[in-house]
Structure 1
Amino acid sequence: MTKQRVHNKVYVVGVGMTKFEKPGRHMAREAVTKALLDAGITYTAVESAYVGYCYGDSTCGQRALYQFGQTQIPIVNVNNNCSTGSTALYMARQQIAMGAADCVLALGFEKMDPGSLSSKFDDRTAPLGNIMSETRGFSKGPPAAQIFGNAGIEYCEKYGATADHMAKIGEKNHRHSAKNPYSQFRDIYTLEQVKQSRAVHGPLTMLQCCPTSDGGAAAILASESFVREHHLEAQAVELAGQAMATDSPQAMAGSAIELAGADMTRRAAQQVYAQTGVAPTQVGVVELHDCFSANELITYDALGLCPPGKAHIMVDQKENTFGGRCVVNPSGGLISKGHPLGATGLAQCAELVWQLRGWCGERQVPRLQAALQHNIGLGGAVVVSLYRPCLLKPEAGSKPAVDPRQRFGYNPAIECRDISKADFDRVVAAGHSNYLTSHL
């Protein structure tokens, strides 16, 4: 296990995202503008940035952020498969936790190719080659659907779950997404419609699989001193614990469940619970990486949300939705909200920040003590993060806080609007006003 070290507390003070959709918007500009508006600061205050994407040239992060000002801050480009956005968040948090900065931006975006994920470079060893094991063989279908679908099949064989349990997860997440204006798909389907949609692999049907998506999301992280200096106590959310893990030898041991990343998720979750002193039973909302419904099923165990082998019981008892013990993917998750690889982890962050602020309207989870985020990438890397309400109180005589919704003119958690040039001009670095046209 990773040694526990003393860290400065880290807070999320601003979040923003685009609608996930095809074709894409001006993703970076919209997401960053919204995050800076939310925090009530300009780009001048940002001391460094971590920018995540998988499909793009090596310094797309610079190109995306230069439109806000060429302030000469460090900009680090991040690529970690489907956990790219959370990896950027993880690196940004480390800077503040170690005292190297007081305000750091994490940005993720993706403009994806149509169709299923595929290798782009066939003249070298594929990163996923090491996990294409002989557990159950591979057919012509999409590789990721086979990996996660086989994990679902193994879970059914070991613990008595059925294909219906995975279909119920798909039905739940589509139902949740109907109340999220940022979701790529907002249609509600019956369980039978989910089950009878086009077969993809094994028990998985089309309505249990995430789509290819374009989109962007961003978060502003800050130290306690920054929160106090800018009077952000009322809107800040503590990013209380975070851990990243990669594959263990179990991934090569012949289990389809472990091949899909269960053990690295288990390790990261245990580290986060140890860091924060929060028990899984205290977590009221989870944004979980449901690239396929099978992955949500096997991940309940790994995150400690249910006893080992009891995920299907959690599904049957509806403990994973509104009215249950823990609402999983109130945003609609990847299955329905969409999955632009670089943006996913930061979109999860935005949803949980809005939930802990109590802004989410009809999809609000009540009485929250803690929120958990799970973002996994095959090959492999997983980031697990835990958020909780900010306990900082404004100092006596300090300037009154401004509700961020006043700066927007609307509640961004329940309404998705485009940004205006006036919005952009409010957040660019001092002396810089450049509304560059960019599809990043």
Structure 2
Amino acid sequence: MTAALRMQNTGSRRVFVVGVGMTKFQKPGLQDSLDYPDLAKEAGLKALTDARVSYSDVEQACVGYVYGESTSGQRAIYHSLGLTGIPIFNVNNNCSTGSTALYMARQLIQGGLANCVLALGFEKMEKGSLAFKFVDRANPMDKHVEVMVDKYGLSSAPVAAQLFGCAGKEHMEKYGTKIEHFAKIAWKNHSHSVNNPYSQFQEKYNLEEVMNSRKVFDYLTILQCCPTSDGAAAAILASESFVIQHNLQSQAVEIVAQEMVTDRLSTFQEDSMIKVVGFDLSKEAARRCYEKSGLKPKDVNVIELHDCFSANELITYEALGLCAEGKAGELIDRGDNTYGGKWVINPSGGLISKGHPLGATVLDLLLASAPLRVSSCLSGLSFPEHWVLPTSAAWFWPPSFSLPWPASAPDFTQGLYAVGSGLRLPGAPPSLLSGPRILCLSLRLRVMVSLVPQHPLGAHPCPTPGLL
């Protein structure tokens, strides 16, 4: 790497995903489960191989995890990927951990501080419902819980399930949404997961089975809640000059917008559980991303969002502007959240089926950029113009992975497919102006390709026991 390239102007620069990799997400505690350094090694090496670069090309690394000792990021990288002396930043932001690592990595390139950065996330979790680790100090979500207790009380169910479950109850009380609408979301996500070999669960259920599975809290059943998971995911991000210098134009996918938003007064002062679980954060992050990218919800084809519970997915439809507030139930009834509708939402199976290793979540979502790099082995498949990925969700479709797609969609077996700019065939000029793009939002508990919400709810384990 030349000094001139390293010292390139420090103005806002374009950032591209050039390599991705992940492990299969698995139940914690399995006899053959890997330790976190091995999980990180598998995901990291896959990403480097995919990017066609060596670890010596990586200038900085942002590593996300929640459950582990301090500096686990260094241990994950040192004896797995290399000892090159680069800065390694450890990130802990609960459900937003993976997306925060991505956010930091992108900023390093965008600000001209680096040209190639590794964003890595991993998690080795415990069986069952996750408990608080410290009882001798203030809990970061105590004020959020206070709002819930004042409005709906407190039960013995997992606190995260109560928070999001109460948000769903409020939606039903305010807009007439039905229990079936939440169940239909879980039914959809479980149905989608059968096509994702990296998903923790790949079982298909009917609506009745979803609604009649074990109750976790009120109307929320176990099949509407995400599980705890072991897993890792990684992405290699690069500047435009790095992409050109290393001849990576044919695989570079641009992140055109990414925002991070934290709580505001409305979270605590409006007596609303919908606000408590992050509606305003998601809405504002989405607004900023749409504004920066010049896109609108109708321009998006595929969305991965944070479905820690089915209630959160429903609420996020409205926060992202897919429908008016209170109209998510109608969107669901029309089938506009799956194949054949306006959007395909959580085609990976979402957290509910795919799993939710906190540090890897969202980074594996970013791996959604893989299908944008169409190759001959994907003959017969076609991909959307824009992807929206949530902050706390994750998934990856490897090049050999085939998934159902509307037969009416155009089929491009070579080059890159991008909104508004059409197809750039291999051998075209090196300009990256017409490459595929990812819309990233940074919200609290979700990412619209990077809805990176930073919010103390992330400080409480969202996963729920029962599927372990």
- Same fold by TM (over 0.5)? yes
Residues 170-219 of structure 1 show CA distances to partners (whole Å, capped at 9, x for unaligned) of 00000000000000000000000000000111211000000010000000
Distance (Å, rounded) in 2 between the aligned partners of 1:117 and 1:361: 41
Contact 1:110 1:215 (8 Å CA) reproduced: yes
Change (3 A) 1:324 1:397: closer
| Contact 1:159/1:309 (<8 A) preserved | yes
The one of 110, 114, 130 equivalent to 1:97 is 110
Q: Is the 8 A contact 1:44 1:71 kept in 2?
A: yes
Equivalence for 1:430: none
Per the alignment, residue 52 of structure 2 pairs with 40
Paired residue for 1:257? 274
Larger mean CA deviation between 368-377 and 191-200 belongs to: 368-377
What is the rounded CA distance, in whole Å, between the counterparts of 2:52 and 2:392 in structure 1?
31
Superposed counterparts of 1:13-412, under 5 Å: 13-22=18-27, 23=30, 24-25=33-34, 26-67=38-79, 68-132=81-145, 133=147, 134-252=150-268, 253-350=270-367, 352-358=368-374, 366-376=382-392, 389=418
| Structure 2 residue matching 1:192: 3-state secondary structure | helix
TM-score (norm 1): 0.83
Asked if the contact 2:60/2:87 (under 8 Å) is kept, the reply is yes
SS of residue paired to 2:363: helix
* Counterpart amino acid of residue 13 in structure 1: V
**Alpha carbons 2:120, 2:360 under 8 Å: kept:** yes
Cα distance in 1 between the residues matched to 2:252 and 2:428? 18
Q: Distance in 1 between matches of 2:429 and 2:171?
A: 57
| Contact 2:371/2:383 (<8 A) preserved | no
Q: Quick check: 1:12–1:238 contact (8 Å CA) kept in 2?
A: yes
Q: How many angstroms apart in 1 are the aligned matches of 2:418 and 2:107?
A: 20
The answer on whether the counterparts of 1:228 and 1:394 sit within 8 Å (CA) in structure 2 is no
Instruction: State the partner residue of 1:405.
Output: none
TM-score normalised by structure 2 residue count: 0.78
CA deviation string 1:236-269 (max 9, x = no partner): 1111100001111111121010111111111111
Counterparts of 1:124 and 1:331 in 2: how far apart (Å)? 38
> Residues 401-440 of structure 1 correspond to what in structure 2 (within 5 A)?
none
Q: Are the structure 2 counterparts of residues 319 and 345 from structure 1 closer, same or farther at C-alpha, using a change threshold of 3 Å?
A: same
Equivalenced residues, count: 383
Unaligned runs of 5+ in 1: 378-387, 399-440
Distance 1:361 1:286 in 2: 24
Q: Deviations for 1:221-246, whole angstroms, at most 9, x for unmatched residues?
A: 00011111111111111111000011
Distance 2:23 2:70 in 1: 23
**Whole-angstrom CA distance in 2 between matches of 1:69 and 1:221:** 18
CA RMSD, aligned part only? 2.3
Going from structure 1 to structure 2, the CA distance change for 1:358 and 1:175 (only over 3 Å counts) comes to farther
Contact kept in structure 2, 1:284 and 1:365, CA below 8 Å: no
Deviations 1:115-167 (A, max 9, x none): 12321011110111121122312111000000011111111111121010000
Q: Which runs of 4+ in 1 moved over 6 A?
A: 359-362, 390-398
Q: Are the structure 2 counterparts of residues 396 and 334 from structure 1 closer, same or farther at C-alpha, using a change threshold of 3 Å?
A: closer
Shift of 1:358: 4.4
User: Quick check: 1:184–1:337 contact (8 Å CA) kept in 2?
Assistant: yes
Quickly say closer, same or farther: Cα 1:360–1:314, change in 2 above 3 A: farther
Contact 1:174 1:336 in 2 (8 A): yes
Kindly tell me: are residues 101 and 161 of structure 1, through their superposed partners in 2, closer, same or farther at Cα, counting changes over 3 Å?
same
Give the letter aligned to residue 77 of structure 1: N
- 2:228 & 2:383 partners in 1: Cα distance? 34
Relative distance call for 1:311 and 1:97 in structure 2 (3 A) is same
- What corresponds to 1:380 in structure 2? none
Equivalent in the alignment of 1:413: none
Q: Tell me: higher relative CO, structure 1 or 2? Use CA pairs within 8 A at least 6 residues apart.
A: 1
Aligned to 1:12: 17
Identity of aligned residues (%): 54
- Specify the alignment match of 2:446 in structure 1: none
Structure 1 residues 224 and 393, CA gap change in structure 2 (3 angstroms): farther
Q: What residue identity is the alignment partner of 2:131?
A: S
Deviation, 1:397, is: 8.8
